[in-house]
Amino acid sequence: MLYREAGDFKTTYRADNQTFPILFDRVGFWITLAVAWLIVPLVINDYWANAILVPFLIYAIAAIGLNILTGYCGQVSLGTGGFMAVGAYAVYKLMTAFPDVSMVIHILLAGGITAIVGALFGLPSLRIKGFYLAVATLAAQFFLVWLFNKVPWFYNYSASGQINAPERFLFGQAITGANAGPTAQYLICLAFVTFCALLARNLTRGTVGRSWMAIRDMDIAAEIIGVNPLRAKLTAFAVSSFFIGIAGALFFAVYLGAVEVGEAFGINKSFLVLFMCIIGGLGSIFGSFAGAAFLVLLPVALKVIGADLLGWPTQIVSHLQLVVVGGLIMFFLIKEPHGLAQLWRLTKEKLRLWPFPY
Amino acid sequence: MKRTFTAAAVAALMTGSASADLVIPDLSYRTGPYAAGGIPFSDGYQDYFALLNARDGGIGGEEIRVVECETGYNTEKGVECYESTKGEGALVYQPLSTGITYQLIPKATADGIPLHTMGYGRTSAADGEVFNWTFNYPANYWDAASVAVNYLLDENGDDLSETSVALVYHDSAYGAEPIRTLEELSAKHGFDLSLFPVTPPGQEQKSTWLQIRRERPDYVVMWGWGVMNQVAIQEAANINFPMENFIGNWWAGAEHDVTPAGAAADGYKALNMNRIQDYPVLGEIQTQVIDAGMGAGDGTNVGKVLYVRGMYAAMLAAEAIANAQEIHGVSDITAAQMRDGMEQLEITEARMEELGMAGVGPSFSVSCENHGGSGEGLVQQWNASDGVFEPLTDFITPDDAVIDPLVEADAAAFAEENGISPGCL
């Protein structure tokens, strides 16, 4: 009734090939964008920005990045934390060395630097696959964290090895540093999320994305039909790292403001982003958002309900959180191995037939 | 799900702003790899406020409301805790984590809420003209490093030129703090300094201690926290390193750090900013808080090293509140007034005795220029058969001639990086 193709006629090839061919999807997409861009900035406060929306948006970028590599190109990576650290340290060095250049350029450049590093660590993927590649990217994770801890140049020789984001402005508004308002922080992250999601969506629909998926589905067959594995795998690593680098740069500069590499970008971060992709759904942009929302919102929601509303002791709530999140991850993996995105797909299938299923 | 959550968040925020008590957030960690240290500290911190509520009806007639928020020593959760509690009228934050402190220094400055990082956090915050809202009295990491070296000087007849000192440290912002000071002190006194980083959380230290066995330093100084301490003391015992030459800083000298190694840990030394003994105030907490069923924990931690430190931190906060009430002539103070109370705080021997904790810490006073207090610390030694840390020395004064220029330089660098023009508020 609500969601159907009947009556939604396409008269041009262009209309037939658009991103959201069904009217309901298209309307939903524009409404979501309108709410995110026009309504949320008016009502957002410090708590919603810093505890919920900004981390959600940043993790969504990281999850999209990893989804390109793991979900679309089939290359397992455990180096996400390390690549986020590259983005964070790159933006820190850039913003302290060139204080007058716009932060947007710095963040994009940080993504570019991460893309180069990512492509470099992607080289082993030409020879090794599966678990062995996972181990090679794990090495990247540990090497990068060690490097940023070891070489004082990366943290400008500060006594503690911490990096701190100085205040930077965009259109006269502070977007980094302590005086950044919640609206500015939210909007800068939203701008990058919108840009990254649209870019990822369109890349995966085009030649590049199809060559990634061909490699994922069967690399030998892909090579036989003319897909160059070198180019496909390295572009996947580069594009994925570009997104993850942007996420790392925002994570440091806009969200946390001060970062210690081992704590913020450790192996736990790699697993967290990987779980977001798996729970959200591999090979789906929507899934990246759903997974990020699930893993960012659920702990906060449990804390608010358990500790603030029911008044349980904080340690019980904290332990319960591990149990509940772990339990839900298992539940989803058993009941729906293709993630939240698949649930959404099934819902849409059912909606198409509703209210007269056959 | 989303709607219940929104309702929950709104309800939580509304209940918070409704009351007009003195709000003290406690960013504790009772879970995760550092819980062993976080639990007794938080118990002591909360129990002292509970005692003030039960015995005196709060401070200046105003009830104290402690809001606990679990951080798990994780910076992201720390930010969430800060944001969720600051709207309730929080007077002072005590995050007990160097990582979270670095996050909160700019945020709390922008929001106008004082931050008390007692013996941890950013050392150069002692420079009150740059860090107007951050306090780290009575002592900081660089003081600790200097106190340790002064103790060694005292033990070796003021000559360390033939000695070698190894620093075993938590490879993080926290552990890296003393390195610069120790390097300066090593240049000044001529001792040989070698560095041994331990990857957090520090469960695996075999190779570190094998290296120490090979290099045979005369002394080992440790900057550890959490499970790292227990492992290090066990490993030191395994290589038969003499415990009396092994000195931990004040975050590496609690009962749970030494007990796993049993009798082998006997003689282990650690710095402390508190003298551990039986204070009358502990008895009052036992009868009026723990026995009354109002304790924050199960009551087993009363009197332990970190419990006393948590209680001491709460005492300093309570004294600052009383001070602020006196300065401004109101009982329901704001965070800005709290800052004034902290900045003009003076802790004397007589006052500590009056509070039932004579000699628990050094006597010191805070000023606009100096947010760091006296910097004194003492050395305590573990007595394994009695299961207590016994104070070995009186409070030792650090070498301010070395530390002050370092603090000044680091604070100036921070001020320049962040465009702060130093000055008093």
| In-domain check, residue A276 | no
Flag whether B2 is in a domain: no
Contact A315 B79 (CB under 8 A): no
Domain-located, residue B1: no
Q: How far is A259 from chain B (nearest CA, A)?
A: 8
pLDDT of A300 higher than 70: yes
Looking at the structure, tell me whether residues B18 and B89 fall in a common domain. yes
Range of the structural domain that residue A195 is part of: 47-266
Task: Report the interhelical angle of B305-328 vs B35-56 (nearest 10°).
Answer: 40
The encoded tokens of residue A111 equal 């993504």
DSSP one-letter code for A67: I
Q: What is the mean pLDDT of residues B24-38?
A: 90
Whether residue B394 sits in one domain with residue B262 = yes
One domain, residues B222 and B308: no
Within-domain flag for B384: yes
Q: Give the distance from residue B83's alpha carbon to the nearest chain A alpha carbon, in angstroms.
A: 5
Query: Which H or E run includes A169?
Result: strand A169-170
> How many Å apart are CA B22 and CA B58, to the nearest integer?
9
* Domain shared by B199 and B314, yes or no: no
Q: What is the distance in angstroms between the Cα of A263 and the nearest Cα belonging to chain B?
A: 8
- Assign residue B185 the CATH number of its domain: 3.40.50.2300
In this complex, do A315 and B417 lie within 8 Å of one another by their Cβ atoms? Answer: no
Contact yes or no for B202/B210 (Cβ under 8 A): no
In a domain, B425, yes or no: no
Domain hosting residue B262, numbered range: 141-274+377-404
Give the residue on A whose Cα is nearest the Cα of B180. A159
Cα separation of A76 and B92, whole Å?
45
Q: In angstroms, what separates the C-alpha of A292 from chain B's closest C-alpha?
A: 15
Q: Please answer yes or no on whether B103 and A307 come within 8 Å at the CB atom.
A: no
Give the residue from B70, A244, B201 showing the smallest Cα distance to A252.
Answer: A244
Residues 62-91 of B with CB under 8 A from A: 68-70, 72, 74-76, 79-80, 83-84, 86-87
Identify the band that residue B5 occupies on the pLDDT scale cut at 50, 70 and 90. very low
Q: How many angstroms separate the CA atoms of B99 and B43, rounded? A: 21
Tell me which chain B residue has its CA closest to the CA of residue A268.
B74
Residue A185 in any domain: the answer is yes
d(CA B44, CA B313): 9
Q: What is the pLDDT of residues B179-217, one digit of tens each?
A: 989 999 999 999 999 999 998 888 889 999 999 999 999
- The C-alpha atoms of residue A286 and residue B242 are separated, in whole angstroms, by 60
Q: Take residue B188 and report the two structure tokens written for it.
A: 């000044």
Quote the number of domains for chain A.
1
**Phi, psi angles (nearest 5°) of residue B197:** -75, 145
pLDDT digits (tens, 9 = 90+) for A242-299: 999 999 999 999 998 888 888 889 898 999 999 899 889 888 999 999 999 998 988 8
For residues B139 and B119, give the distance between their C-alpha atoms in angstroms, rounded to a whole number: 5
Q: Nearest Cβ partner of A257 from B8, B106, B180?
A: B106
Task: Say yes or no: B153 and B189 in one domain.
Answer: yes
What ipTM, to 2 d.p.?
0.84
Nearest CB neighbour to A300, from listed B80, B199, B413: B80
Average pLDDT for chain B: 88
Q: Which two tokens stand for residue A69?
A: 């590599």
Report, in angstroms and rounded to the nearest whole number, the Rg of chain A calculated over CA atoms: 21
- Shortest Cα distance from B244 to chain A (angstroms)? 28
Q: What are phi and psi of B28, to 5 degrees?
A: -100, 170
Q: Quick one: B127 and B212 in the same domain?
A: no
User: Is residue B412 located within the same domain as residue B381?
Assistant: no
B18 and B130, same domain (yes or no): yes
Structure tokens at A288: 């990246």
- A211-215, A336-340, B256-260: segment of lowest average pLDDT: A336-340
- Give the closest-approach CA distance of B269 to chain A in angstroms: 25
- B69 contacts in A (CB within 8 Å)? 307, 314
Query: Residue A80: inside a domain, yes or no?
Result: yes
> Residue A337 above 90 pLDDT?
no
| A229 close to A47: Cβ distance less than 8 angstroms | no
Under 8 Å between Cβ of A246 and A107: yes
pLDDT (0 to 100) of residue B20: 64
Residues B381 and B309 in one domain: no
Q: CB B417 to CB A263 under 8 A?
A: no
Nearest to B123 by CA among B71, B42, B59, B179: B179
Q: Is residue B105 part of a domain?
A: yes
DSSP string, B136-194: -TT--HHHHHHHHHHHHHHHTTT--TT-EEEEEEESSHHHHTTHHHHHHHHHHH--EEE
The verdict on B171 touching A (C-beta cutoff 8 Å) is yes
DSSP state of B64: E
DSSP B58: S
Say which residue, B14 or B42, is predicted with more confidence: B42
Interface mutation target, options A44, A148, A254, A304, chain B, most CBs of B under 10 Å: A304
Q: A201-256, pLDDT tens digit by residue?
A: 999 999 999 999 999 999 899 999 999 999 999 999 999 999 999 999 999 999 98
Tell me if B51 is assigned to some domain. Answer: yes
Q: Is B248 a residue whose pLDDT tops 70?
A: yes
Q: Do A164 and B106 touch (CB under 8 A)?
A: yes
Domain presence at residue A312 = no
A328 to chain B, minimum CA–CA distance in Å?
Answer: 15
Contact A256 B5 (CB under 8 A): no
Q: Is residue B88 part of a domain?
A: yes
Contact of A149 with B165, CB cutoff 8 Å: no
- Give the pLDDT band of residue A105 (cuts 50, 70, 90): very high
Contact predicate A256/A185, CB 8 Å: no
B13 interfaces chain A, CB cutoff of 8 Å: yes
> Does the beta-carbon distance from B172 to A262 stay under 8 Å?
yes
- Judging contacts by C-beta atoms under 8 Å, the chain A residues touching residue B180 are 159
Q: Are residues B136 and B164 in the same domain?
A: no
Chain A, chain B: beta-carbon pairs less than 8 Å apart: 128
Identify the three-state secondary structure at position A87: helix
Look up tokens 């899934």; give the residue. A287
Count, residues in chain B: 425
- Mean pLDDT value of segment B311-322: 94
Across the strands, what pairs with A352?
none
Contact across the interface for A167 and B70, Cβ inside 8 Å: no
pLDDT, tens digit, 9 for 90 and up, residues B389-402: 999 999 999 988 88
Q: Are residues B109 and B51 in the same domain?
A: yes
Mean pLDDT value across chain A: 89
Residues 110-129 of chain B with CB under 8 A from chain A are: 110-111, 122-124
Specify the higher pLDDT residue, B149 or B297: B149
User: Nearest Cβ partner of B418 from A48, A162, A166?
Assistant: A166
Q: Nearest by CB to A314, from B8, B30, B200: name it.
A: B30
Lowest mean pLDDT among A20-24, A278-282, B292-296: A20-24
The model's pLDDT over B110-159, given as tens digits with 9 standing for 90+, comes to 889 999 999 888 888 889 899 999 999 888 889 999 999 999 999 888 88
Are residue B136 and residue B146 in the same domain, yes or no? no
> Which one of B9, B70, B111 has the shortest CB-CB distance to A314?
B70
Q: Is residue A168, in this structure, part of any structural domain at all?
A: yes
Q: What is the pLDDT of residue A50?
A: 86
Q: Which two tokens stand for residue A246?
A: 């942007």
Question: Quick one: pLDDT at residue A250?
Answer: 95
The percentage of chain A sitting over the pLDDT mark of 90, rounded to a whole number, equals 46
Does the pLDDT of residue B17 top 60, yes or no?
no
DSSP annotation of B277: S
Would you say residue B7 has pLDDT above 70?
no
Q: What residue in A sits closest to B200 (Cα-Cα)?
A: A262
Evaluated on CA atoms A136, B202, A163, B42, the torsion sign reads: positive
| Interface mutation target, options B31, B41, B101, chain A, most CBs of A under 10 Å | B31
Note whether residue B282 is domain-resident.
Answer: yes
Q: Please give the DSSP secondary-structure letter assigned to residue A153.
A: G
Query: How high is the pLDDT of residue A242?
Result: 96
- The percentage of residues in chain B with a pLDDT greater than 90, rounded to a whole number, is 55
Q: By the 8 A CB rule, do A64 and A288 touch?
A: yes
pLDDT reported for residue B14: 42
pTM: 0.88
Tell me, what DSSP letter sits at residue B398? P
Structure tokens at B409: 């330089």
Q: Which amino acid is at A207?
A: T
pLDDT of residue A177: 79
Query: How confident is the model at residue B2, as a pLDDT?
Result: 43
In tens, the pLDDT along A107-163 reads 999 999 999 999 999 898 888 888 888 898 999 999 999 999 888 899 888 777 788
Neighbours of A325 (CB within 10 A): 17
The pLDDT, as a whole number, for residue B201 is: 83
Q: Please tell me the total count of domains within chain B.
A: 2
